[in-house]
Amino acid sequence: MKSNTGKYSLIASIVSSIVIVVVFFVLAVLKNSGRAVPLYTDVDIMAGMIFVFILSMIVSASIWPGIIEKHMK
């Protein structure tokens, strides 16, 4: 039962981090497309996506195990 909890929390952390990165990407592209001179370069957006992914993985890796353990009981 414990090994499944770890697997489920890893999957939930990765999925939630990817969703947050996609939201970041969409918002950054929308912000850039509305301007005559782009505010951010493609490298800025990609670096921001990596940064957001790492931060969201740290946060979600500490949140999801508790949620999943509570629901598996």
Contact 57, 18 (CB under 8 A): no
Is the per-residue pLDDT at 1 higher than 60?
no
Between CA 36 and CA 51 the distance in angstroms is 26
Look up residue 63 and give its two tokens: 């949140």
User: Which of the four pLDDT bands, split at 50, 70 and 90, describes residue 4?
Assistant: confident
Is the per-residue pLDDT at 64 higher than 70?
yes
